Each structure stands twice: as C-alpha cells, then as structure tokens.
Amino acid sequence: MTTASSSSSSAASPVAADPVVCRPVGIVRSRFTEATGMPIQTAGAPEETGRLDVFPEFAPGLRDIEGFDYLILVTHLHQCAHERLEVVPFLDNASHGVFATRAPARPNRLGLSIVKLTAVEGTTLHFSGNDMMDGTPVLDIKPYVPRFDVRETGRVGWFGAKLDQLPGIRSDDRMG
Ligand SMILES: C[S@@+](CC[C@H](N)C(=O)[O-])C[C@H]1O[C@@H](n2cnc3c(N)ncnc32)[C@H](O)[C@@H]1O
C-alpha cells in the first residue's frame, strides 16, 4: 500500500488537496427545471426521457457509442446550493455520512447516472431513465459494461428495504 509519506512528489506534481478543473463535454436537456419533485435515481424512473447534447468538439469521442444499451454519465449537480458531509437523504428520515448516500449536496456535487441510450442523432444522445435537471453539465460519458460495473450483493447498508420505495419517490427541498 502506498502512503502519503512514502509517495514521491515534487512541487510540479499535483497533490491531493489541489483543485481539479473539469470542463463539461455536454449538457443534459430534460423536462425537470427544479430540483424538487423529480426522480431521485434513473432506476426509479425508466420512463423519463432526456437528451444529452454533446459539444461538437467532442464528436470524435462518440464513435462506436451506438453499440451500447446503457451509458454512465458523470455529472455536475450544478444547481445544488450546499456541500454537506452529513445529510438526511431522500430515502430516509435519519442522517448519514454523505459518502454513504447518493445525495446531491456533497463535496464537488458530482452525480453518476446510468441511462438507457435510445438513439444517437449526430452529437445528441437520446436516453431514458432520467434524474437530471435541465442544464446539468456532463463531465464524462462511459459505456456501461455489466462485467465491469455489476456486483451481485445484498449488502446495501441503510438503504435496505427502503429501496422498495424507489419507483414512487420524488425529491423534495431538503438539499436546498
Ligand atoms: C439523489 S441525486 C442522484 C444523482 C445520481 N444518480 C447519483 O446517484 O449520483 C438526484 C437528485 O439530484 C437533484 N438534481 C438533479 N440534477 C441536479 C442539478 N443539476 N443540480 C442540482 N441538483 C440536481 C434532484 O433533486 C434529483 O432528484
């Protein structure tokens, strides 16, 4: 295991605390214009559609994307006003450490949404399964590959039986 003290670094090398600057590769277009009253996970709203307008300069990066059923979108939940370390998540009434949740009010406000790719039209990716507000910046797109991304487990911490509520549950204003 590498520890902070044993790893080599120079003044020119990034260290863990340095800010990281990212640029969006595209923008989500969605019918949701407010963070309240919308799906909390794409798996809970497979019927909700949206599209990702990828910026033209990233077009070459889309080659072969039509060969995948699902994509992983790494998003910036840009309208989230707060970064919290402890939150009461949408699926619970009790507080948890934010890294034990999928709450948007988290350090760096990064989201991860798995969407079903339904059509590719130039640099526009149409998808179903949507938990993203209109205008959400997308920082990266990755193909969903079950062999890489699925682990069979029933050990899901505090989520437990609360996951049964997922299809009906919608966000409220608690992250505001
Ligand atoms: C619980 S987060 C989950 C996001 C992602 N699926 C994840 O697990 O990282 C989804 C919620 O974030 C909020 N949200 C979605 N897009 C947002 C945005 N661009 N800015 C701020 N909040 C957003 C909405 O309240 C939505 O219900």
Q: What is the pLDDT along the chain (176 residues), one digit of tens a residue?
A: 333 333 444 456 778 888 999 999 999 999 999 999 999 999 999 999 999 999 999 999 999 999 999 999 999 999 999 999 999 999 999 999 999 999 999 999 999 999 999 999 999 999 999 999 999 999 999 999 999 999 999 999 999 999 999 998 999 999 98
Cα(111) to centroid(ligand 1), Å: 7
Q: Give me 95's structure tokens.
A: 């507080």
Q: Set out the domains of the chain in order of their start, with CATH numbers.
A: 28-166 (2.40.30.70)
Position in ligand 1 atom list of the atom nearest CA 175: 25
Please give the helix or strand (H or E) that residue 146 lies within, else none: helix 146-149
Q: How many CB atoms lie within 10 A of CB 113?
A: 23
**Ligand 1 cavity residues, CB under 6 Å:** 35, 38-41, 77-80, 90, 102-104, 111-113, 131-133, 136, 171
Strands (E), the chain: 26-29, 49-54, 70-76, 86-87, 96-97, 110-121, 124-128, 137-143
Q: Whole-angstrom Cα distance, residue 42 to residue 48?
A: 8
Q: How many CB atoms lie within 10 A of CB 84?
A: 17
